[in-house]
A and B are shown apart, each in its own frame.
Chain A
Amino acid sequence: KAGVTQTPRYLIKTRGQQVTLSCSPISGHRSVSWYQQTPGQGLQFLFEYFSETQRNKGNFPGRFSGRQFSNSRSEMNVSTLELGDSALYLCASSLGYRDDYGYTFGSGTRLTVV
């Protein structure tokens, strides 16, 4: 059974550019969440999607956006990149919404902004 797949694994972008990260959840999982991990702030919640609808959003600027497709795959987009956006971006999936099965994380996308 394939796990949560995130692509690409590594990205180097220049300030001001935009970037799109992709996440494919475990087959059958319909809930996808995104987190940003930095040495200073730790793991911070970005947003959560279920049935193509954003259910919750963390405290991040509007430059951070996401979406979920009908096959549950999700993408997140960061526009006008800043140096401080350099981080490990993690995606997590769960079977449903309001369930108690816990979350499975992917290996992450390491974004470096130069």
Chain B
Amino acid sequence: KQEVTQIPAALSVPEGENLVLNCSFTDSAIYNLQWFRQDPGKGLTSLLLIQSSQREQTSGRLNASLDKSSGRSTLYIAASQPGDSATYLCAVRGSSNTGKLIFGQGTTLQVKP
């Protein structure tokens, strides 16, 4: 059974700092991995999607990496801003035969001005 873990559960950093959020999964046989952002009381906003054959994806100040063999993904946020404050969730899709995403519990990030 696939399990997804995100560490740390919460993180508080000063503005401008570079930071790394971690996501680990127990079954390396994944189809893809997606990082989302969730603001309080809102839905999920997709940040980056990494296919199982890819090593990383970049969008602006965000870079996500994937190491299937070790069951790990990281989300790197460069030059953090107060607007980056949110909960970040990673989700794993197990195969092409299912659209079911298995989510981690998330990392709640606070960026202080």
* Contacting pair A102 B34 (CB below 8 A): yes
At the interface, yes or no: B18 with Cβ under 8 Å from chain A? no
* Contacting pair B31 A105 (CB below 8 A): no
* Contacting pair B49 A102 (CB below 8 A): yes
* Contacting pair B99 A94 (CB below 8 A): yes
B61-97 residues with Cβ-Cβ distance < 8 A to A are 89, 91, 96-97
* Total interface residues in chain B, CB < 8 Å: 25
Known: A42-B106, A110-B41. A102 touches B100 (CB 8 A): no
At the interface, yes or no: A45 with Cβ under 8 Å from chain B? yes
* Contacting pair A102 B99 (CB below 8 A): no
* Contacting pair A45 B101 (CB below 8 A): yes
Known: A42-B106, A108-B43. A103 touches B31 (CB 8 A): no
B residues neighboring A (CB under 8 Å) = 31-32, 34, 36, 41-46, 49, 51, 89, 91, 96-106
Please give, as numbers and ranges, the residues of chain A lying within 8 Å of B104 by CB-CB distance: 42
At the interface, yes or no: A7 with Cβ under 8 Å from chain B? no
* Total interface residues in chain A, CB < 8 Å: 30
Chain A at the B interface: mostly helix, strand, loop or mixed?
A: strand
At the interface, yes or no: A90 with Cβ under 8 Å from chain B? yes
A residues neighboring B (CB under 8 Å) = 4, 6, 31, 33, 35, 42-43, 45, 48, 50, 55-56, 58, 88, 90, 92, 94, 97-108, 110
* Contacting pair B32 A102 (CB below 8 A): yes
Known: A31-B99, A33-B100, A100-B32. A106 touches B89 (CB 8 A): no
Which residue of chain B is the closest to A90 with respect to CB atoms?
A: B43
Known: A90-B44, A110-B41. A42 touches B105 (CB 8 A): yes
Please give, as numbers and ranges, the residues of chain B lying within 8 Å of A98 by CB-CB distance: 96-97
What are 19 A-B contacts with C-beta separation under 8 Å? A33-B99, A42-B105, A43-B89, A48-B98, A48-B99, A48-B100, A55-B98, A90-B44, A98-B96, A100-B49, A100-B51, A101-B49, A103-B99, A103-B101, A105-B45, A107-B42, A107-B43, A108-B43, A110-B41
